Amino acid sequence: MGYDKSDDASVYKISEDTAVINTTDFFPPIVDDPYLFGQIAAANAISDVYAMGGVPKLALNVMTVPKSLDMDTVREILRGGYDKAMEAGVIITGGHTINSEEPIYGLAVTGFVHPDKVLSNSAARPGDALILTKRLGTGIITTAAKADADMVDSQVLESVYAQMATLNKYAAEVMADFDVHSCTDITGFGLVGHACEMAMGSATSIHIQAEGLNYYKDAMEFADMGLIPAGAYNNRDYTKGKVLNESGIPLALEDILYDPQTSGGLLIALPMDQAEACLKRMAAAGVTACKAGFVTEADDYEIYIEK
């Protein structure tokens, strides 16, 4: 499995019962706290292995360091990544750093999966339900915080940061007990963008039920104020001509559907008759999951946005 269908990681079969998953992700700081930044960056990078149905085991640090950055800050970033990797059961075995004008941190991650249990973003089936395992709107809220830190309620911001630092491990452990057909994680392309990739790869159409989604209510207010990350507009361009929205939902809610997420949740396609049981198990595991929509035979558009 490679990049031909925009999957989350590459998969290489090495024996009849073992395949290797490889992925990497890294970005500049999105929070001021270096330890928290390290945690978020690591959780984001590791997530791709969970999206492929695998278990992460090894990682390498990937880091750029400005000469102006003091070593205590560098250590805190690395400590955040290390602690989050340990929570995931991942051993960081080394890495590479270079000097740069801007700090960047992330991981190259290796995981393992049985070849028969690999999940892709291109195997959703008509009749499937879609489950989303984290709230949307984090990109809008962090954009508002950058514009004016006092604008965002501190508890809301802490909740957003905590969600971004939360591993998708716990959602993945639950979904492993169900007949999941397809999976991807929601990151930079937003819910609509990643759902569109799933629809295109699976030769299906996806119906997003907007009003049933979990999202940060404050994000609606900030979207109304125009505090929307540039990536959301890019995501609209990316999916232009592939989305039909005749739902009548507020524009601010539509913006949330395109909002780029950092370390977002898993989007899981599974049989409709297993969706409620899966949601109950997610809730019991402390995962904030919701039904996000359903899959049909391919129609004129890849994505249909509904109420």
Pick from 198, 210, 208: nearest CA to 249: 210
Structural domain of 210? 128-306
- pLDDT tens by residue, the chain, 307 residues: 666 666 778 999 999 999 999 999 999 999 999 999 999 999 999 999 999 999 999 999 999 999 999 999 999 999 999 999 999 999 999 999 999 999 999 999 999 999 999 999 999 999 999 999 999 999 999 999 998 888 999 999 999 999 999 999 999 999 999 999 999 999 999 999 999 999 999 999 999 999 999 999 999 999 999 999 999 999 999 999 999 999 999 999 999 999 999 999 999 999 999 999 999 999 999 999 999 999 999 999 999 999 9
pLDDT of residue 149: 80
Is residue 270 within 8 A of residue 178, CB to CB? The reply is yes
The two structure tokens encoding residue 2: 């490679």
The two structure tokens encoding residue 209: 């039920």
pLDDT of residue 6: 67
DSSP letter at 152 equals: S
Cβ contacts of residue 239 below 8 Å, gap of 6+? 192, 193, 196, 258, 302, 303
pLDDT of residue 198: 96
Can you give the pTM of this predicted structure?
A: 0.95
Q: Same domain, yes or no, for 195 and 109?
A: no
Q: Of the residues 94, 117, 140, which one is the last residue of a structural domain?
A: 117
Q: Same domain, yes or no, for 281 and 133?
A: yes
Rounded to whole angstroms, the Cα distance separating 192 from 209 reads: 11
The answer as to whether 2 is a domain residue is no
DSSP assignment of 105-145, as one string? EEEEEEEEE-GGG---SS---TTEEEEE-S-B-HHHHHHHH
Q: What is the CATH number of the domain that holds 17?
A: 3.30.1330.10
pLDDT of residue 3: 65
Number of domains in the chain: 2
Rounded to whole angstroms, the Cα distance separating 82 from 80 reads: 5
Q: Same domain, yes or no, for 179 and 251?
A: yes
**Count of CB atoms within 10 A of residue 116's CB?**
9
Pick from 10, 105, 9, 117: nearest CA to 62: 105
pLDDT of residue 2: 62
The answer as to whether 44 is a domain residue is yes
Residue 208 identity? I
The answer as to whether 5 is a domain residue is no
**Count of CB atoms within 10 A of residue 149's CB?**
11
Q: Angle CA(111)–CA(83)–CA(191) in degrees, nearest 5?
A: 60
Rounded to whole angstroms, the Cα distance separating 267 from 206 reads: 12
Angle between helices 217-224 and 251-258 (to 10 degrees): 110
Rounded to whole angstroms, the Cα distance separating 274 from 128 reads: 9
Q: What is the CATH number of the domain that holds 271?
A: 3.90.650.10
DSSP letter at 305 equals: E
The answer as to whether 1 is a domain residue is no
